[in-house]
Structures are given as structure tokens and as C-alpha cells.
Structure 1
Amino acid sequence: MVRRALLTLLLTVLVLGGGLAAPASAHPQSTSAVLLDVGDDRVEGEVQLPVDRLAVAVDRDLTAGSVLDADRDFLADYTADHIGATGADGRPWTVDLGEGTVQVIDGVDHLVYSITLTPPDGRVTDVELRYDVIVESLVTHRAVATVRHDFDRGILTADDAETLGVFDFSTPTLTVPADDGSWWRGFAATAHLGTEHVAEGADHLLFLATLLLPAPLVAVGGRWRAGPSARRSLVRVVHVVTAFAVGHSLTLALAAAGVVDAPSRPVETLIALSIAVSAVHALRPLVARGEVLIAAGFGLVHGLAFASLVADLGLDRGSLVTTLLGFNLGIEFTQVLVVLAMMPALVLMARTPVYPAFRVGVAAVALVFSVSWTLERATLTSVDPFEGAQTWLVGHPLWVAAGVTALAVAAYLASARTGREGGGPDAVEPDTEPAATAHRG
């Protein structure tokens, strides 16, 4: 006991003395990382070991090359011996170490191993993780433990990652809370993720907005004219939203199941192109009920973009059906909010002479944004000059909705005072279009 106390005192003095003596410009020493993904029947993850600290701990001259060659077997055995796991019932779990790789993390070479912790009965519970790689020899070293994925606890993305604590010389074990989640928490987290993805995606929002522009109108003689009723406008909105939902749900499910796999850059470029097509259609009808066809067709493309995000959620560790259902629910919920925020104002404004100019103006802005996105995503340009405006619009949805509503109310009151309700280029003049030449959208 006396010897241990003296050793601890000596180490403390050395650490403090070294810290006081270190120059202000010195860089902090590298730390290790333990990253965990909690699944239904196992805990997977990886450990990241800085090669320079590992060399000190094992008293060997290690390099990025030697750790995968001459020192490979020694380091694998050393690392495996210093990691253990015990379940809530006191039984040990199996710890499997994968092949090592070298990665540069924060400018430092790290030896990285994948790890798998498997309970004896296949049921994941809270687990006591013992870890003293490097720290058992190098008392100044620390290893930060993080849960980066746990579906049942709603940890799905890097932003959700939960730091469990730090392994060091005095803390060789930490508890991984693996069984305090629920199906509902995972479902709610994926729904929130779907809502957030659309709400923060300027391209998805702009695509939906341009599709809504012609909803209060009908195509007559290749031009837009005011629709006959608000009820008909509502029906068309339902058709547009449903078509988009069916389209993106289909490709999202196929991509998540591994049936469809498309590279992200062409998909993102096609999404930008989809906005251009919907903007042109809002300017002048391409085909009758074109917005429904556009929503369904390009909905397939948007679904591929959604799938790229879902693919990072570790679907093999959670419920695929639950994840897709929650994510889709979040997307549809956001779409409904956009419709509720915009459509009453659009329907009201469509009965006034202001709407043609508003429709053309919004469609023109959408067309400019889409062209800029298309060029950037096709790597023809390196910067989007309109990014600031896009970010502001997405970041202030209430201001946008309030502004459109205020404009609609003002336009309606003005047209009512002058007796010009329904006038303007978008107006329908009864019996002025022969039935044979009219095609209604």
C-alpha cells in the first residue's frame, strides 16, 4: 500500500510538473477513441489507437507500416487482452477484434480495429466495458468512449452521438446503457430526422413549392387560368402530395433494401433539374396535370436522395420497416405543414390580378436557383452564388409564409375594393375558350 501510494504521488508530481513546464505552444497529446454501435443482438464499433502513444505503451518503435506488418500479431493480441465486457447478469461477453487498418485522424496516424461484443444469450443488456489499451502503461493517456448509434435510444446520426465517459488510469471500466431504449424512441427519432431533412433541404422545399404554384389554376389553351373553386385546388394539392409520396417512398424502400443503388452526385444533379422542370411548368403548362406527373416522376429521384441518408443509420442494427415508416412519416408531416402554410394564401391570391406576377416571379427565382445547383452539382462551377439567400429562406419559414399570406390578403382586399376579383391574365372568362381547345389540369 505504501509503495503504491508513493508511486501514485510520484506520477502525480511528474504529470503536474510536466504540465507546468510545457510551453504554451505545445500540442495536446493524442487520445484514443472507442466508438460503439448498439444493436439488437450485439454491440459493434471500433477502437482508434494513436500509433505514437501506442509505441510508448508497448515500448516498441512503431510506424504506420510496422503496425500492419512486423508488429501486427503482437498488437492484435495486446489490444484484445485489454478489452473485456460483462453483461448485467455477470456473464462475460465474447470480444472479437477485426483486422487492423491505419487511418490519419486529426493529423496523427491511428491503428484502427473493428470490435464486436456478443452476449452469450444473444440479448443485449447494459454492459460493463473494460478498456485499458495504452492507459494501463501510459497514465497520462485517455480514451474517449462514445455511442454513435443506438436505434432504440434514438441515437442515429453523428449529431446524436452520446459520450459515455473517458477511460484513463483510474477509470478502466464504463457502463454502456444498452437496454434502456424502446421501439418508440427509435421511431420518433427517425420521424424527426425525416422532418429535419426536408425542413432544412432548400432543394426539396423549392421543388414542392413550385409544384404548388399551379395548383389553384387550370391549363386552358396552353396557358394558366384561375381554377373554378378552392375545392378543386385542394383536390389537386392532394394529388400532387400523394404522387410525390408514392414516388419517393418506392425508391427509398428499394434503395434501403439494396435493390437500387445510385451514386449521389447524379442524383443530386437530377434533383436540381427537377426544380427547373417544375418551375418551367409553373410558368407555362407543359402538359395537363403536369405537376402530378412531375411530382411522381421526380419523386423517384428524391427518394434516392432520402435513401442516402437512411443508409447511414445502421439499418441492419434496427428495424428496417420501423426506420422507413418513421422517416417517411417525418417527410409527409413536413410536406403537410408546407401545404397548410402556403396553399390558403395561394388560393386566395389566385383570385386576384397579382397572382400571375407572383407565380412568374417565384418560378423565375426557382429556375435560377435550380440552374445554379445543377451547375455546381455537375462540378461545372465550384460555388453557388445564391447560397446565402437560400439559407436565409430555409432558416426563416415563418417569415416567408407570413409574407406570402400578407401579400395575398392585401391583393384580395385591393381587388375587392376595385371590383376586379378574378381579373388579370390568369382569369377565366366564361365561354371564351372553345371546349375543343381547352385542356384542364
Structure 2
Amino acid sequence: MKNWALLCLWLCCSAPAMAHKASDSYLSLDPARLQGRWDIALRDLDYALGLDANGDGALTWGELRNMSDAVFAYAMQRLSVASAGRDCALQPGQLQVASHSDGNYAVLNFALACPNQSGPWSLDYRLFFDLDAQHRGLFSWAGTAGRPAIFGPDSQRQTFDVATEHSLWQVLASFAGEGMHHILIGYDHLLFLISLLLPAGLAWDRTGWRAVGSWRAAAPEVAAVVTAFTLAHSLTLSLTALHVIALPARWVEAAIAASVALAALNNIYPLLARRRAWLAFGFGLIHGMGIASVLLDIGNGSSSPIAALLGFNLGVEAGQLVVVAVAFPLVVYAGRFAAYPRSAMRWSSAAIAALACIWLAERSLEISLQIF
């Protein structure tokens, strides 16, 4: 049982660290103007189409422009739009480039030619699913109150009635789903939280880490850590989403990577062993700005920004609680064994810190080390 508990804990901590960030695209339609915009990550298009003609690892505007016809053809073949049961023709427009929090994206502007514009609207989204099952298409309506949606391998075809799907509850529910999805694929945020939870069943004194003995004894500190992290990232998520504060995404993402490394190293060299709640609050302020970048990408078109913000934040908290519910009993149980603080926790924390240092280098220097 001891070995199984340690193995489960290791897998819980290590699985996210070995995965790439899931890819997203951002699709928006304006049914009144019959126009669309589709932001697709250049790294994903390069993987699918080989945009980097000279193989130097850096995409230029010239390389993208030379492949513009192929890019539009590839994307448009993987999207179908219909209104009132009749297919719309997608007509390629201008190709641009936009910067998102995770890199540069090709912006595909296009027009819709629909025989009937009365709705309801049906979308069939098939981009990259044959290459990456984790890819998601984040969809929103421009200039209307229709509900946003997430397209995935199991939800490729969805139907919308923009005339009726605009209640606050529908916006709240839609963005709650998106918030949960994005916290569960936000490996940097998850690894920060897991780093704080790894010592949950332990207490630090001059002799080192020792087991606290029970879930009940460990619960108050875990509750304090989770509450502090929640309050902090909810505050800055809201302020960033409402455009009250704004910091360069590059440095926010780099600071998030640094926070993951420091939280993990604190388990090996516990300078703040009794101040993990303050650590969670301080760095949680940075994490909130990072989480908000996703909401800024998908929520700007919502006619109910407060409902979108509230729903997204509730989804983030729900996803976070799922992680805590899984990790907390595992770490408390594993903490009863002497090998846990000496081996499993130290090596897990070291692995997390190493990965975070790679992220820090990539994000601060804007390079791709491609180690994993």
C-alpha cells in the first residue's frame, strides 16, 4: 500500500509536467455583418503545414505570407457554418498576425455568404483534432449576446440561436465551463498549487519534516493556503479582465514560472514552511493576471462581461477544488511514511522546479527549448 500511494502521488504530480500546453484557437463570428475572425497559433500551423521554409526555427511574415493560400485552405476545410439549415460559403479575406499570451497567432479574416441569415446557426469545427486531441476551439459571437462555446473532439458540431441564447445564466454557465477547462490545462497554475499541497500532511521543525498524523490536523493549513491563493488570483483576475490593471504578458508568464520554481524549492529548502499561505497569496496575485489572459481573449465579445467574469472565475475555482480533492488525501496518507518527505516529496519538488526553470528561460527569453 505504501508503494502504491507513493506511485499515485508521483503520477499525479508528474503527468502535467511532461505535457505540452494544450493548443487553442479563437473563433469569432458576427452574424449581423456576416464576418468572421479566426486566430490560430503559428506554432500549430507550422506543425501542420511546415511554414518555416528555411528551417531556422523562426517564422517570418514573409514565410507566413507565402503560405497564406495554404493556411486559408487548410483552416476553411476544417470549419463549416450553416444558418437555418443551409450551408454558408466561407470567403477568405485579409491575413494578419496578433499576439496572445502564449505566442503569435495568424489572424484569418473571412466573410460569410449565407442563403438564409435568420438562424439558428450550426458550426462544425474540425481543426487539428487529427493532430492533437487536446486542441480546443474557443468560440464567441461578435456584436451580439449569443453564448460562447468550446469545440473539442467530442463536441465538434454545435447549434446556436443567438436570438434566445443570451440570458445571464447561459453566459454564466458557458464561461464557467471555459474557466474549469482552462485551469485544468493550465499546468503552471496546477503545479504551483500542487507544490503548495505536497507538504500538506507534514509539519516542519528543527529536525525536519514530520507527519501531522491525520487529515483533520492537516486541513486548517491546507484551507488557509487554498483560500489565500483563491482570494489573490480572483482579485487580479477581475482587475485585469476589467482593464483596471495591465502588465506585459511576457513578464507575467515569466513570473508565474518563477513562482512555481520557488514554491517547489520551498519544499526542499523550507525557508517559508510556516508561511505557505502568504506565499500562495503573494504569487496568487501574479497567477490571476495570467489566468485573465484567457478571459480577455474569449470574453471581450460578451454582452454580459460581469456574468462572463463571474462564471469564468467560478469555473476556475471548481477546477481548483477538484485538484485539491484528489491531491489532499494522497499527500496526507503518503506523509505517514518516512520515505515520503525524504524521497518522493523532494524528487517531485525537484522535478517541478526543474520544469519551471525551463519555462522561466523560455518565457523571459522568448525561446523554445523543446526539451520535452
Describe the superposition over 1:118-175 as per-residue Cα deviations: whole angstroms up to 9, x where unpaired: xxxxxxxx9649xxxxxxxxxxxxxxxxx842785432568799898xxxxxxxxxxx
Shift of 1:111: 12
Residue 279 of structure 1 contacts residue 367 of structure 1 at CA under 8 Å; is this kept in 2?
yes
Describe the superposition over 1:312-345 as per-residue Cα deviations: whole angstroms up to 9, x where unpaired: 2244632222112111111111111111111112
Shift of 1:243: 0.7
Describe how 1:167-246 pairs up with structure 2 within 5 A. 177-181=161-165, 182-221=167-206, 223-246=208-231
Distance 1:35 1:288 in 2: 46
Q: 1:439 aligns to what?
A: none
Q: Residue 45 and residue 256 in structure 1: after superposition, are their counterparts in 2 closer, same or farther (change >3 A)?
A: farther
Distance 2:301 2:108 in 1: 26
Q: 2:264 aligns to what?
A: 279
Distance 2:108 2:321 in 1: 48
Residue 148 of structure 2 contacts residue 175 of structure 2 at CA under 8 Å; is this kept in 1?
no
What is the aligned-residue RMSD (CA, Å)? 3.4
Distance 1:111 1:353 in 2: 57
Indicate which of 88, 91, 94 corresponds to 1:103. Answer: 94
Query: Are residues 1:296 and 2:296 paired?
Result: no
Query: Are residues 1:325 and 2:310 paired?
Result: yes
Distance 2:360 2:207 in 1: 27
Residue 127 of structure 1 contacts residue 178 of structure 1 at CA under 8 Å; is this kept in 2?
no
Distance 1:113 1:360 in 2: 52
Indicate which of 327, 331, 349 corresponds to 1:346. Answer: 331
Residue 224 of structure 1 contacts residue 285 of structure 1 at CA under 8 Å; is this kept in 2?
no
> Which residue identity does 2:355 align to in structure 1?
F
Q: Residue 380 and residue 304 in structure 1: after superposition, are their counterparts in 2 closer, same or farther (change >3 A)?
A: closer
Aligned pair count? 255
Describe how 1:80-119 pairs up with structure 2 within 5 A. 103-104=94-95
> Which residue identity does 2:259 align to in structure 1?
S
Q: Residue 382 and residue 113 in structure 1: after superposition, are their counterparts in 2 closer, same or farther (change >3 A)?
A: closer
State percent identity of aligned pairs: 35
Distance 1:245 1:193 in 2: 17
Shift of 1:377: 1.0
Query: Are residues 1:361 and 2:355 paired?
Result: no
User: Secondary structure at the residue paired with 1:36?
Assistant: strand
Distance 1:187 1:346 in 2: 34
User: Secondary structure at the residue paired with 1:385?
Assistant: coil
Q: With CA pairs under 8 Å and 6+ residues apart, which has the higher RCO, 1 or 2?
A: 2
Distance 2:253 2:281 in 1: 17
> Which residue identity does 2:369 align to in structure 1?
V
Describe how 1:426-441 pairs up with structure 2 within 5 A. none
Q: Residue 35 and residue 199 in structure 1: after superposition, are their counterparts in 2 closer, same or farther (change >3 A)?
A: closer
Q: Residue 195 and residue 288 in structure 1: after superposition, are their counterparts in 2 closer, same or farther (change >3 A)?
A: same
TM-score by length of 2: 0.60
Residue 202 of structure 2 contacts residue 210 of structure 2 at CA under 8 Å; is this kept in 1?
yes
> Which residue identity does 1:256 align to in structure 2?
A
Indicate which of 141, 147, 166 corresponds to 1:154. Answer: 147
Q: 2:248 aligns to what?
A: 263
Q: Residue 162 and residue 229 in structure 1: after superposition, are their counterparts in 2 closer, same or farther (change >3 A)?
A: closer
Q: 1:248 aligns to what?
A: 233
Distance 2:36 2:347 in 1: 54
Residue 148 of structure 1 contacts residue 158 of structure 1 at CA under 8 Å; is this kept in 2?
no
Distance 1:162 1:298 in 2: 39
Q: 1:313 aligns to what?
A: 298
Describe the superposition over 1:40-69 as per-residue Cα deviations: whole angstroms up to 9, x where unpaired: xxx567469xxxxxxxxxxxxxxxxxxxxx
Distance 2:110 2:181 in 1: 33
Q: 1:74 aligns to what?
A: none
Distance 2:158 2:179 in 1: 24
Distance 1:193 1:225 in 2: 39
Q: Residue 314 and residue 127 in structure 1: after superposition, are their counterparts in 2 closer, same or farther (change >3 A)?
A: farther
Give structure 1 stretches of 5+ with no counterpart.
Answer: 1-33, 49-101, 116-125, 130-146, 165-175, 387-441
Structure with greater Cα Rg: 1
Describe the superposition over 1:396-436 as per-residue Cα deviations: whole angstroms up to 9, x where unpaired: xxxxxxxxxxxxxxxxxxxxxxxxxxxxxxxxxxxxxxxxx
> Which residue identity does 1:149 align to in structure 2?
W
Q: Residue 230 and residue 262 in structure 1: after superposition, are their counterparts in 2 closer, same or farther (change >3 A)?
A: same
> Which residue identity does 1:180 align to in structure 2?
T
Q: Residue 290 and residue 222 in structure 1: after superposition, are their counterparts in 2 closer, same or farther (change >3 A)?
A: farther
Q: Residue 45 and residue 247 in structure 1: after superposition, are their counterparts in 2 closer, same or farther (change >3 A)?
A: farther
User: Secondary structure at the residue paired with 1:378?
Assistant: helix
User: Secondary structure at the residue paired with 2:365?
Assistant: coil
Residue 213 of structure 2 contacts residue 336 of structure 2 at CA under 8 Å; is this kept in 1?
no
Distance 2:183 2:279 in 1: 18
Shift of 1:370: 0.4
Shift of 1:35: 6.0
Indicate which of 361, 371, 375 corresponds to 2:357. Answer: 371
